[in-house]
Amino acid sequence: MRICRTISEMQQACRELKRSTAQERGLGFVPTMGALHAGHLSLIAAARAECDAVVASIFVNPRQFGVGEDYEIYPREFEEDCRKLESAGVEILFAPTVDEMYRPGATTFVEVEGISDRLDGASRPGHFRGVATVVVKLFNIVGPDKAYFGQKDAAQVAVLRAMVRDLNFPVELIACATAREDDGLAMSSRNRYLSAEERQRALVLSHALETAKSLAKEKGSNAQTLREAMLQKLKAEPLLRVDYAAVVDADTLEPIEDLSNGALIALAAWFGKTRLIDNVLLGPVTHV
Ligand code: AMP
C-alpha cells in the first residue's frame, strides 16, 4: 500500500492508479478519521467488491470538531491502521497533515443549508460545514467514482447526498449498513472512551431502536408513539443524557409523523463526556 502525505502526490498517485486499472468498475474511496474498526473495514470490503481499485484516507479533520469537543484526544493509531488497510487490500492511503489540507488563510467552505442544522448538526453547530468542506476537498484530490460512507452516521449521509446532488459531483455515494458488536452496540472509534459500566449501559441505544422498530409495525402507531417509547427507555437509564430521539425523513432529516413512506429513527445520547449515536432505517410501513 502506498502512503501519500501531500495533496499533489495523492492526486498524481490516484491518476496513475486509475490509468493502470481496467476502468470498468471505477475507483472506490473510503474517507476515515482512523482508529479503524470492523465498521470501517466493512466499507473497504464493499469498495473492494465493487470497484477496480480502492483508496482510503485517514485525516482527523479539526474543522468538524467544535470547541471543547474531543479533537485533541481523538484516538490516533496510524501504524496499526496501516496494517489493517493494507490487509484489506487498499492500494493508496492519503494521510495528510492539517497544514497540508488547510493552507494558511483558506476561507472557502461548503455549506449544505438546512439539513446541516438538523440532528447532529443541531447539537454540533458547524460540524457538517466542516464535514462537507473536507469531503469536497478529498473528492477533488482523489477523483473517485464511488465513495463509501457508513449509515451509522445517517445525518452525514443525508448532508453529503444533498451536496453531491446540488453540486453535480460525478461520484456515486454508497451508504453501508452499520457494523455492530455482538451485543448490538454500533461500532465507533469513540466506544473506547466508555467505562465498563457505561459500555454495558450503552446497549440501551440499540434496544430503544429495536423497540421503536417493532412498535412501528403495530396498528395505530405513529412517529410520536415511537419517540415517546424511545425516550421512556432512554430516560430510565441514569448514566445517560438524551441529546435527541428523532423520527425523521431520511433525506431531509425533517420530523415526520406518518410512517407509511418509511423513516429514519435516530438517537444521540451522552454517557459522561462521550456522545454516542445510532439509528435504524424503517422501510415503508403499512398497517393492515
Ligand atoms: P470516522 O472515522 O468515524 O469518520 O468514520 C469513517 C467512515 O466509517 C464514516 O463513513 C462512518 O459512517 C463509517 N463508520 C463508522 N462507524 C461505522 C459502523 N459501525 N458501521 C459502518 N460504518 C461505520
Contact in structure between 180 and 187 (CB atoms under 8 Å):
yes
Whether 64 has a binding-site annotation, put simply, is: yes
Q: For residue 150, which of 126, 173, 181, 184 has the smallest C-alpha distance?
A: 173
pTM of the full structure:
0.97
Here the cell at position 259 is 410512517
The pick from 74, 152, 190, 276 for probing ligand 1's pocket by mutation, whose C-beta has the most ligand atoms within 8 angstroms, reads: 152
What was the pLDDT predicted at 282?
Answer: 96
Per-residue DSSP letters for 46-69? HHHHHSSEEEEEE---GGGSPTTS
Q: Return d(Cα 226, Cα 211) in angstroms, integer.
A: 8
Report the 10 Å Cβ neighbour count for 168: 7
- Give how far Cα 264 sits from Cα of 61, 258, 261, 277, 283, Å: 26, 12, 10, 13, 9
What was the pLDDT predicted at 155?
Answer: 98
Strand pairing partners for 148? 174
Domain 191-281, what architecture? 2-Layer Sandwich (3.30)
Q: For residue 234, name the pLDDT band (cuts at 50, 70, 90).
A: very high
Binding site membership of 64 for ligand 1 (Cβ less than 6 Å): no
Higher pLDDT, 67 or 219: 67
Instruction: Give residue 200 CA to ligand 1 midpoint distance, Å.
Output: 21
Whether 207 has a binding-site annotation, put simply, is: no
Q: What tens digit of pLDDT does each residue of 155-209 get?
A: 999 999 999 999 999 999 999 999 999 999 999 999 999 999 999 999 999 999 9
CATH number of 2-176: 3.40.50.620
What was the pLDDT predicted at 69?
Answer: 96
Pairing relation of β-strands 146-150 and 27-32? parallel
Whether 196 has a binding-site annotation, put simply, is: no
- Give how far Cα 131 sits from Cα of 15, 60, 83, 110, 127, Å: 24, 11, 26, 9, 6
What was the pLDDT predicted at 288?
Answer: 57
Q: For residue 226, name the pLDDT band (cuts at 50, 70, 90).
A: very high
Here the cell at position 15 is 491518476
Q: Could you tell me where in the chain the CATH 3.30.1300.10 domains are found?
A: 191-281
What was the pLDDT predicted at 287?
Answer: 63
| Ligand 1 atom 13: residue of nearest CA | 150
Question: Using CA atoms in the order 106, 35, 150, 137, what is the torsion angle rounded to 10 degrees?
Answer: 20
What letter represents residue 207's amino acid?
Answer: H
Q: Return d(Cα 151, Cα 261) in angstroms, integer.
A: 19
Q: What angle do CA 279, 284, 286 make, to 5 degrees?
A: 125
What was the pLDDT predicted at 236?
Answer: 96
pLDDT at 272 over 70: yes
Binding site membership of 134 for ligand 1 (Cβ less than 6 Å): no
| Ligand 1 atom 5: residue of nearest CA | 32
Binding site membership of 206 for ligand 1 (Cβ less than 6 Å): no
Element (H, E) at 273: none
Binding site membership of 176 for ligand 1 (Cβ less than 6 Å): yes
pLDDT at 2 over 80: yes
Strand extents, DSSP E, the chain: 2-4, 27-32, 53-58, 92-94, 146-150, 172-176, 240-248, 263-271, 274-282
Q: For residue 23, name the pLDDT band (cuts at 50, 70, 90).
A: confident
What was the pLDDT predicted at 220?
Answer: 86
pLDDT at 22 over 90: no
Whether 200 has a binding-site annotation, put simply, is: no
Question: Taking all residues of the chain, what is their mean pLDDT, rounded to a whole number?
Answer: 96
